[in-house]
Structure 1
């Protein structure tokens, strides 16, 4: 069964104008009506690092979860953030960005990869105690622009370490939109076959004309978990290409439905959310 993860947090976090808390909550409440498996709704990180997410706890208070089947995911960058997030019963998943690139790990979380792996272990233990689930994102999972070492075999080594820690969900992140179809196919086939008990996901950043080929390459390699953001808002500023953003959820849906997949989404509620997007990101 395909799982779609809608990521308003990723869409919003780099937006230059602060989005009012009530507007954030109204938008996320609309997303909760569509039928996505999970909503990546906010993050518990330093407000100095990500000012847009400083009101995540407040947003949570306004969310109406009673009639929604969607689960909530919050991003954390350290153990303290995880402890803060775990105070809220409404949150089902914690997401942690672990990078294949040493340079990006330092830039993104102010940690070395070694220290970040220690944080992963600590957060994994905390989530297990609280009955929650850790989602580990392997940033720069398809290469990096810094000249740091990279190979698919390195990704597999990271997966092996995470498997030993008991991590059950790993999402490969194409952080700067450089993944090609062959690499996507290789990476997912290698790891899905090697670790059948781990759920692997795809968090792609892509130009609009590359969305379908990347999504279908992962799907045909066995990936059943996909992140997206309506209209493709967000993405990594280090891509240095204004057209490289998050995979537009509507294009993701279209690509998978063309393959005959039934996604069980409320299309009317999806249309309403699409109407809200331009108001939220004005």
Structure 2
């Protein structure tokens, strides 16, 4: 079964002009009507680091979750953020950004990889106590622009450490949009076969013309969980290419359906979401 994760948080967080809380909530409420498996809707991180997400708790209070089958995921960067997020029973998943790059881990969470792994373990314990699940995003999963060590074998070492912590979901993240179809297939093939108890997701960034081939490559490797954002909004500024953004959800849907996957989405609500996205992102 395909799990399709829509990521309004990732689409919004880098926008310098603050998006009104009511507009955020209206957009996420619309996305809740579509039938995505999960919405990566907000984050509990320092408002100094990500000012756009400072109103996540207020947005959550405005969401209409009663008729939606979608689950909610919030990103956290430390134990305090996890504790804040776990105060809200509506949140199903906590996402943590763990990097195979020492440089990026320091830049992203102001911690070493060793300390970040301790944080992952602490959050895992908190989630188990609260009946929640943690999703670890393994960033720089397909390449490293900082000159830090990188290899498929290094990814396997990180996955092994996370498997020892009983992690159920790991999302391999192409933070800077450098993954090739061959590497995507290789990484997912190796990991899905070595760790069948773990669900591996793809959080890829891409130029628009490469989205379809990257989805197909991940499918070939055994991936059945995909993150995206409508129109590909958002992405990592470190990619240094304004055309590299999130994987456009509507393109992923078209690709997945062309391969015979039944996604059970409400297409009329998806069309409304696409219209509203243009307004929210002023595009």
Q: Normalising by the residue count of structure 2, what TM-score does the alignment of the two structures yield?
A: 0.99
Q: How many residues align?
A: 282
Secondary structure at 1:226 match in 2: strand
Aligned to 1:35: 35
For 1:222 and 1:142, the matched residues in 2 are separated by 16
Task: Give ranges in structure 1 of 5+ residues lacking alignment.
Answer: none
1:51 aligns with 2:32: no
Aligned to 1:281: 281
For 1:238 and 1:221, the matched residues in 2 are separated by 27
For 2:211 and 2:16, the matched residues in 1 are separated by 25
Cα deviation 1:157-176 (Å, max 9, x = unaligned): 00000000111100000000
Deviation at 1:16, TM superposition (A): 1.5
For 2:166 and 2:124, the matched residues in 1 are separated by 8
Pairing of 1:35-184 with structure 2 (within 5 A): 35-184=35-184
Deviation at 1:47, TM superposition (A): 0.0
Secondary structure at 2:98 match in 1: strand
| Cα RMSD after superposing both structures | 0.4
Secondary structure at 2:134 match in 1: strand
Deviation at 1:238, TM superposition (A): 0.2
Q: Normalising by the residue count of structure 1, what TM-score does the alignment of the two structures yield?
A: 0.99
Cα deviation 1:83-137 (Å, max 9, x = unaligned): 0000000000000000011111011111110010000000000000000000000
For 2:166 and 2:207, the matched residues in 1 are separated by 34
Secondary structure at 1:42 match in 2: strand
For 2:110 and 2:257, the matched residues in 1 are separated by 40
Aligned to 1:191: 191
Deviation at 1:144, TM superposition (A): 1.2
Aligned to 2:16: 16
Deviation at 1:138, TM superposition (A): 0.1
Secondary structure at 2:156 match in 1: helix
Deviation at 1:146, TM superposition (A): 0.7
Cα deviation 1:132-189 (Å, max 9, x = unaligned): 0000000000011111100000000000000001111000000000000111111000
Secondary structure at 2:273 match in 1: helix
For 2:46 and 2:250, the matched residues in 1 are separated by 31
Pairing of 1:245-256 with structure 2 (within 5 A): 245-256=245-256
Secondary structure at 2:95 match in 1: strand
1:267 aligns with 2:267: yes
Secondary structure at 2:200 match in 1: strand
Deviation at 1:80, TM superposition (A): 0.2
Deviation at 1:194, TM superposition (A): 0.3
Secondary structure at 1:73 match in 2: strand
Secondary structure at 2:92 match in 1: strand
Runs of 4+ in 1 over 3 A off after TM superposition: none
Is 253-262 or 134-143 further displaced after alignment?
253-262
For 2:278 and 2:200, the matched residues in 1 are separated by 31
